[in-house]
Amino acid sequence: MLLAAALLVMLVFCWRMQVALAAPAPPAGCVPHTTFVPGGTDYVDDYRCAGTAIDYHTGGVGRSPYPIWAGQWLLVDESGNFRLGWCTFNRGTHPTIDRHSAPITQSLPNDPRGAKSAYLMWRYGRTSDNTRATALWAVFHYYAQDAAGSNRASNASAPLVPSLQGISEASGRQDVEGLAIALDAEASRLAGPFSIDVVLASNGSGSARVLAGGVPVPATAVRVEVQGAAFDDESQTADLVTDDTGSVAFEIVGPAQSATVVASTSAPGSAQVYRAAAADPVGHLPQTLITTGTPAAVQGQAGVTLDDLPTTTTEAPPTTEVPTTEAPPTTDMPPSTEETTTVPETTTTEVATTTTVEATTTRRSSRRRPSRCRRPPRHRRSCRRTPSSRPPSRSRPRFLTRPSQRRPPRSQPSSSSSHRIRRHRPRNPTRNQTQPSSRRCRTRGPRARRHTSARR
C-alpha cells in the first residue's frame, strides 16, 4: 500500500511538472494570488492581474471582514490561451491556470443586450491600470446583479453592487465610484452599432469617420488602404487614429485615373463569459468571469477619378536652363575690354590737372621774399629752412617744384656745371665775412640771383 501511494504521488508530481513546463509563462503584470482571508488556504497556480484589494461591504466599509480582490483574474480558455476576466459571480471560487475554463452564456440584468459590456471589454479589456480595473469590477458586478454573500452584505442574496452611486460608501473609494459612473456613461453613449464613413475628393484629399450609432468614436485605430494611387511616401497603407470628432484625414496622389480608398476598423464583439476552473473545486462553486469577445470588423470605402495633377518634373526645366541662358553673357568679353580701354582717357585728364598745378606752383615761386640768410659766417649752418619756418598755407610738396630746380642724381652728369663748381669751390679768405654764404643759403627767386651776381 505504501509503495502504491508513493508511486501515485510520484505520478502526480511528474504530471504537474509536465503541465508547468508545457504551459506558457503568465502575461506581464500578473502575479500569484495570496489569500486575504486570515488563516485561509492559499491555492496553487492562481494569478491575479490589474486591480486593487479593497475593503467592501454593502452596509458600510467598516463592516468588511477582510479585503476582497477587485480586479482581473487570469484564466485559460478552451483553446489553451490566457484570458483576462472580471468576476460576475461573487460567491464562487477564483480560477486556476492548471485547467481549461469553459465558455457559457450569462444574462446581465442591467445590460440585457450586452452592448455596454461588449464595448467596455473591447475598449478596456486589456487595461493595466489598477484603478480602472477596479472600477470595471464594480461595473460588471452591477450589470450582473449577482449575490454578495454573507461576508459582503447583511442579506447574502442581495446584489453585491446594487448601485454605482453607493460604491464609495461600501468601499471608501470615491475615485473608484466616479470612474465607474463615467465608464458606464461612456458605454451607454457608444453602445450603438459601429460604422465608418469615407469621403474622397478628386484632388486626392479624403477623410474617414468612425461612428457608433451616429456618435463619433474618438481614439480608435483606423487602417486606410489605397488602390490606384498612393500616399505621399509612396505607400498604399496607413494606420491612423481618430481625433475627438472620430475622424482621420489623409491625402493621396496619383495619375488621372480612378482610385479607391478602403478604411477599416475593429468594432466591439459580444463579450464572452467563462465558467472558471476553480482553484479549489471540492465543495465550492466556480466563479464566472466576463472576458473580451471576438471583435467585429467594420469597413467603408469611396472611389473617385483623380484630377490630372501636375507632376514635379515640370519644375526641372527652369533649373536646367539656368546655366544655358547665362552662358552667352559670359562669352561676350570684348565689350568689357572696350570699357577698360577708356581708362587711359581718364588718366590723360588727370595729367592735365597736374600741369595746371605746376603753373600754380610757378606763380607762387615768383613772389619775392626777403632773404633770411644774411647772418654772420658762424651761423651759416643754422640758416637752413625748417618745415616749421614755412607758413602752412604756402607749403607745397616736393614733386611740384619745377624741373629746373630739382637736383640731378649724383650718378648722372648734370647740365648745370656751374652749380657743381660753385658747390665745391674753396672758400675765399679775402671775402667779406659779413656777407651771407651762397653755398648753404641759396634762396630761390630773381632777387637771390641778383644778389649772387653782384657779390661776384
pLDDT by residue for the chain (456 residues), tens only, comes to 666 666 666 765 665 555 544 557 888 899 999 999 888 888 889 999 999 999 999 999 999 999 999 999 999 999 999 999 999 999 999 999 999 999 999 999 999 999 999 999 999 999 999 999 999 999 999 999 999 999 999 999 999 999 999 999 999 999 999 999 999 999 999 999 999 999 999 999 999 999 999 999 999 999 999 999 999 888 999 999 999 999 999 999 988 889 999 999 999 999 999 999 999 877 778 999 999 999 999 999 999 999 875 554 445 555 544 444 444 444 444 444 344 333 344 333 343 443 344 444 434 444 455 545 455 555 445 445 545 445 555 545 554 445 555 555 555 554 444 444 444 455 555 545 445 444 454 445 555 454 444 444
Q: Are 72 and 82 in contact (CB under 8 A)?
A: no
In the CATH scheme, what is the code of domain 194-268+299-306?
2.60.40.10
- Are residues 301 and 262 in contact, defined by beta-carbon separation less than 8 angstroms? yes
pTM score of the predicted model: 0.64
Q: Where are the domains of the chain?
A: 29-191+271-296, 194-268+299-306
